[in-house]
Chains A and B, each alone.
Chain A
Amino acid sequence: MLAKRIIPCLDIKDGRTVKGVNFVNLRDAGDPVELGAKYSLAGADELVFLDITATHERRKTLADLARDIARHLNIPFTIGGGIRELADVDALLNAGADKVSINSAAVRRPALIDELAYGFGNQFVVVAIDAKEKDGEWYVYLNGGRVQTEHKLFDWAHEAQERGAGEILFTSMDHDGTKAGFANAALAALSERLSIPIIASGGAGNKEHFAEVFTTGKADAGLAASIFHFGEVGIGELKSYLAQEGIPVRPV
């Protein structure tokens, strides 16, 4: 049976992981490859690396990082952050990335999804969507949540699917950072409307939240950052708990 996926997310700046990372037995908690390998051994099913570097050197740094990760890790990974055009993606795939995540650029120019899907296959294209609820409607935001758009979450997610997205990574900005659980109602609605997998992001605070996101939220994968980085929830214990709850997971 297809397992529900547990995905730690690592934020990268200038080739180093940022945000607090509190992992024991790491020589250098800033090294994304070392941290990724640690998560892989701990039982992570997949990894997401999001680059928040703002310099024009970004493309080369990101491709170098993808190459390093691909060389050392034997589980799949997605890489993203500031991808705007085909050439960005080409470099990443040649470096060995399994998937790329696109966000603002896809909203600004939706045909980018078609081009990537046609050029590299649907499975390479993860469309990340940041959204916030306002008067009972979910609206899509850009630039890390700073710019509101007219796009509604469900319409945009559906359009992304029709254009060739292989997965949707949905972050609820209302839940992100709260550690009070995922946006399960919106996730379930999204999952029912789409025929591609949904990665849930934003709100993970404990093991129970993951059980809820896979049952009530009908998500295919659960993504989190700080609770894994700070060791608040271990991936091994999380998976044992989910298995006990009858949720299919890949045992560690």
Chain B
Amino acid sequence: MIAVINYNAGNIRSVLYALERIGVEHILTSDHDVIRSAEKVIFPGVGAAASTMAHLNATGLTMLIRNLEQPVFGICVGMQLLCSHSEEGDVPCIGVFPEKVKRFRPNNGDKVPHMGWNNIRLTPENDWVSDAVNEQYCYYVHSYYVEPGPHTVATTEYCGITYAAMLRKDNFYAAQFHPEKSALVGERILRDFLAAQ
């Protein structure tokens, strides 16, 4: 069973539909025991870092997520919240990844939010997704980005910056783009996560 964490973030529905299309059993839940005992956990989200962190702290989900031992996949804001700090509301985050979250500045005609399809480039550290997705396009919607670091398994370029498109550290996986909205490429990446041990 895949647990999708339910918290005060928007557009969780599309992740559930993607799992439905792939045909895996899943449950949307905020129940600590259900999350802890799930085979895998997906931590999705669209929302503002400060208000979502306040909610995660108040409900004990921050500690719970940090200590999960099964494969966990953070998507979009979920990825940013797994980092150590976000410039959005200047707030400390869950801290699984030491990386920091910063805001894009419009640059040379590049607008903010970064919205649309952009290509991902796998790094030599990639031990997660199939090489077939290298240079493929994924769907992004975000105004904040994660600086690249030792856990970066894929990068994307925008606003003159090369930033982390995907992270992996032990049992924690994360993507800045929306695999559930990235056509067949996104489905491949979701499947590669679901195949993780």
Asked if A250 and B143 make an inter-chain contact with CB atoms under 8 angstroms apart, the answer reads no
Q: Is A130 an interface residue (CB 8 A)?
A: no
Q: List 18 A-B contacts (CB under 8 A).
A: A1-B157, A2-B114, A2-B116, A3-B118, A70-B17, A72-B21, A74-B18, A74-B21, A94-B13, A95-B13, A98-B14, A98-B141, A124-B11, A166-B113, A195-B112, A196-B111, A196-B113, A220-B116
For A2, give the chain B residue with the smallest CB separation. B118
B7 to chain A minimum Cβ distance, whole angstroms, is 15
Asked if A2 and B187 make an inter-chain contact with CB atoms under 8 angstroms apart, the answer reads no
Kindly state the separation between the CA atoms of A16 and B3 in the bound complex, as whole angstroms. 35
For B105-118 the 0/1 string (1 means CB < 8 A from A) is 01001111111111
B107 to chain A minimum Cβ distance, whole angstroms, is 10
With A3-B117, A71-B20, A167-B115 already in contact, the answer to whether A250 and B137 are too (CB < 8 A) is yes
Which residues of chain A have C-beta atoms less than 8 A from B46's C-beta?
A: 121, 123-124
Asked if A75 and B181 make an inter-chain contact with CB atoms under 8 angstroms apart, the answer reads yes
Asked if A221 and B116 make an inter-chain contact with CB atoms under 8 angstroms apart, the answer reads yes
Q: Is B98 an interface residue (CB 8 A)?
A: no
Q: Is A5 an interface residue (CB 8 A)?
A: yes
Which residues of chain B have C-beta atoms less than 8 A from A124's C-beta?
A: 10-11, 46
Which residues of chain B have C-beta atoms less than 8 A from A122's C-beta?
A: 113, 143
Kindly state the separation between the CA atoms of A45 and B158 in the bound complex, as whole angstroms. 18
Kindly state the separation between the CA atoms of A5 and B115 in the bound complex, as whole angstroms. 10
Among B149-166, those with CB < 8 Å from A are 157-158
Among A4-61, those with CB < 8 Å from B are 5, 40, 45-46
Which residues of chain A have C-beta atoms less than 8 A from B110's C-beta?
A: 2
Among B24-79, those with CB < 8 Å from A are 46-48
Please name 4 further chain A to chain B contacts, defined as beta carbons within 8 Å, in addition to the given A3-B117, A71-B17, sorted by A numbering.
Answer: A45-B117, A71-B21, A74-B187, A166-B113
Kindly state the separation between the CA atoms of A70 and B12 in the bound complex, as whole angstroms. 11
For A214-235 the 0/1 string (1 means CB < 8 A from B) is 0000101100000000000000
For A148-189 the 0/1 string (1 means CB < 8 A from B) is 000000000000000000110000000000000000000000
Q: Is A82 an interface residue (CB 8 A)?
A: no
Which residues of chain B have C-beta atoms less than 8 A from A194's C-beta?
A: 111
